[in-house]
């Protein structure tokens, strides 16, 4: 959740900064500003998704291997039954 919020906050700061530098006309006519804005948001979402997957991946693999010691070690952070 934190990477998504950081991505949104950085996109908002970028948007305000570019508006102050280029004005409304400059922001509307330059395509790269829109691409960077959405790129910041998507980067935060991608980092958040990768973090969520990586947190539960060792738990799932240890359960597939039927190793209870590793399952106890890794599944504490992952809320999986």
pLDDT single digits (tens) 30-73: 899 999 999 999 999 999 888 878 777 777 777 778 877 777 77
**For the residues 18-26, what does the mean pLDDT come to?**
90
Query: Residue 81 above 60 pLDDT?
Result: no
**CB atoms inside a 10 Å sphere around CB 66:** 8
26 vs 71 pLDDT, higher one = 26
Give dist(CA 55, CA 23) in Å, integer: 43
Residue 64's pLDDT is what? 79
């Amino acid at each position: 959740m934190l990477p998504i919020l950081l991505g949104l906050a950085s996109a908002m700061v970028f948007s305000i900064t570019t508006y102050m530098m280029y004005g409304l006309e400059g922001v509307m006519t330059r395509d790269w500003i829109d691409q960077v804005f959405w790129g910041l948001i998507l980067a935060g979402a991608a980092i958040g998704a990768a973090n969520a997957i990586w947190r539960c991946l060792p738990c799932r693999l240890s359960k597939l291997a039927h190793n209870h010691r590793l399952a106890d070690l890794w599944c504490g952070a992952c809320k999986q039954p």
